[in-house]
Amino acid sequence: MYSIDEKIDLSGVPCPLNSAKALLELELLEDGQILELTIDEGEPIMNVPSSLEIAGHKILDTIKNKNNTYRLLVRKGN
Amino acid sequence: MSIYFDHAATAFLQKQKNIFYEDVPAIQGNPSSKHTLGVNAAIALERSRRIIANSLNAKPSEIFFTSGGSEGNNWILKGITFKHLHQKKHIIVSPIEHSSILEPALWLKKNLGIALSFAPVDKFGLVNPKKLRRLINKNTLLVSIMHANNEIGTIQPITELADLCHEQNIFFHSDACQSYSKEKIDLQKMKIDFLTINAHKLYGPKGVGAVFLREGTELEPLIHGGGQECNMRSGTQNVPGIVAFAQAVDFSCAQNYEKIENLRDYFITTLLKEIPGCKLNGPTKKRLCNNINICIPNCKASSVFDKLNKMNIFISTGSACSAYKTSPSHVLRAIGLSEADSLSSLRITLGVESTRKEVKTMISALKQCIAKK
């Protein structure tokens, strides 16, 4: 179990705007803090995790929700 | 040496910030591309959107980028009409609006049968809310009144006008291209549904602007295509221009406009004192901090303009968009100036870099021009 510091719902937000919004949200966190993201299946789940990893963040967990969205837990920084 | 007193036409990019070029390498990607360069450009875009939204106390999702003020004004008038054409068909504007409001309004009247009314203005260019109320009927869809006039600087009672429209369940739009960053605009407090802004009046680049569309309002897009800006304004965004726009907003909002206002008042007082017959067009109060518009009776403004231009002193005889027209300004005519007085009027607009020394030089040059006639 992780302690979530911030949440953002990016379901319905297309690529790459979802990655941009997630990265801007991460800018507001301290290193080591955890952001919970909700994103759509399809392109978003393919693109967003890699964009966050390229930017130096760590994907801690990926959970598929019942409504075809995904819940991502991201730790700021590595 | 040159003196630039035409800031209402455009305000120059600030060299010390080098805003238009510095960040370009980092934001070369297309903000719709899904690779890292696209994400970087999208981040720059969203960061800029937040800066602009914050400056207006709006939500980032309520800001949509455009190519400038004229596009924004056209979009609002046409977009709202297209969306609600079968419910309401009456629009009210003031007669001193920018041509990018007046021309689309006339186009809608001619091509779609929209009823068009003009809210009367007084001798200072002010719209009276009571007189506006009398024009409203059950068919009224939209009222569009500019926040500050581009020629005579009149600042409208925009909060009161917006309140009135809100009470009557009518959309209210304001063209704030001249006032944005100079006058406080709080979109949480002001009941404005749509607002047009642009970059180059506040030391940003030309060809960039934005509109505020209040959450819950609906209008049709003008440009269809790639689905950018949440399907409301297709076309790849001008990312370097938008980044520069946001940086210019930060710059412009931080300026001391009281200093410019004091310089303006000094300028006006000296002109009225030293040039016989000189009259101020527009209000003394409720006026944009950088605007001066004077009439020198029996003096041909185009001739003075030309002489000053040769002396590297740059002013205007009307709005920048109507400067090439020989017809008298529709704004000056609307506030009651005769055709002759309209053609004897000059617009002088100050900027953050304007100095008292420049003002003195300009007044001395102006006296020479008048003496030479």
Whether the pLDDT of residue B372 is over 90: the answer is: no
Q: Is B369 a catalytic residue?
A: no
Whether the pLDDT of residue B165 is over 80: the answer is: yes
Chain B residues whose beta carbon lies within 8 Å of the beta carbon of residue A43? 34
Cα separation values, B126 from B131, B158, B161, B223, B290, Å:
11, 10, 11, 34, 18
Q: How high is the ipTM of this complex?
A: 0.86
Instruction: Give pLDDT tens digits for A59-76.
Output: 999 999 999 999 999 999
Instruction: Provide residues of B within 8 Å CB-CB of chain A.
Output: 31-36, 38-39, 42-43, 45-47, 50, 227
Whether the pLDDT of residue B24 is over 80: the answer is: no
**pLDDT band at residue B17 using 50, 70 and 90 as cut-offs:** low
Give the Cα separation of A49 and B94 in Å (integer): 52
The DSSP code sequence of chain A is -----EEEE-TTPPTTHHHHHHHHHHHTSPTT-EEEEEEETTHHHHHHHHHHHHTT-EEEEEEE-TTSEEEEEEES--
Select from A8, A17, A24, A28 the residue whose CB has the most chain B CBs within 10 Å, as the one to mutate to test that interface.
A17
Instruction: Give pLDDT tens digits for B320-332.
Output: 555 455 689 999 9
Q: Quick one: CA dihedral B136, B187, B246, B215, positive or negative?
A: negative
Q: Which residue has the tokens 């719709």?
A: B32
Nearest to B352 by CA among B269, B248, B257, B288: B257
Q: Are B332 and B344 in contact (CB under 8 A)?
A: no
Chain B residues whose beta carbon lies within 8 Å of the beta carbon of residue A51? 36, 39
CB pair distance less than 8 Å for B45 and A54: no
CB pair distance less than 8 Å for B46 and A17: yes
- Considering CB atoms only, which of B35, B43, B227 is closest to A20? B43
Instruction: Give pLDDT tens digits for B100-149.
Output: 999 999 999 999 999 999 999 999 999 999 999 999 999 999 999 999 99
The answer, for A17 touching chain B at a CB cutoff of 8 Å, is yes
